[in-house]
Amino acid sequence: MQLYSRSTAGSEHAICLMAPSNNLTSSRTIASARADFRKLLLTVSDYCSNVFVLDFTPRLNIDGNWQDAMRQEFHSESALMGVKYYSMADFFKFDRLHLWAKDGIHLSDNHGMKILVELLWQHSYEVEAATPVVEMCYQDAPTSVEMITALEEVCTE
């Protein structure tokens, strides 16, 4: 898990966490994968209160049952933390091989990536549309010149 500290923490409108990394087998058990995901989700939530998860695209080189179990754990953890979770499994069916690059892990540029970009756009827009916009009206504080002028007017009256 890598997340770099940023000086702009808190200024993001929303953060999309794509879970997990490209290596679905980096955790030895599903429970440890869930624990790692929880840590990452907590860390990302410190940066921004408006976080959502777009889960991983299916991999052709990993057992489908393992992937489904991982999705269920990540979805459950997200729900416990009140974070929206969007699954991508329905958009990337195993019988549509043209969606993947030859490695079976990465999406193909001409087909798979187009779907991923569309899903990112769609869910980012949903999160933005669901966030209430509050207009704040600020009154500028008077400058020192304005204050001196006001004091002079009061004193000369």
Domains detected in the chain: 15-156 (3.40.50.1110)
DSSP state of 3: -
Tokens 């179990």 -> residue: 69
Span 73-100, pLDDT tens digits: 999 999 999 999 988 888 888 888 888 8
Tokens 């209160």 -> residue: 49
What the block records as the tokens of 104 is: 């079976």
pLDDT interval class at 16 (50, 70, 90): confident
pTM: 0.67
What the block records as the tokens of 72 is: 């269920």
**Residue 19: enclosing H or E segment and its boundaries?**
strand 15-19
Q: Which residue has the higher pLDDT, 51 or 137?
A: 51
Q: What is the pLDDT of residue 135?
A: 45
Q: Residue 8 to residues 2, 13, 17, 50, 101: CA-CA distances in angstroms? A: 17, 11, 17, 15, 35
- Average per-residue pLDDT for the chain: 74
Q: What is the pLDDT of residue 3?
A: 55
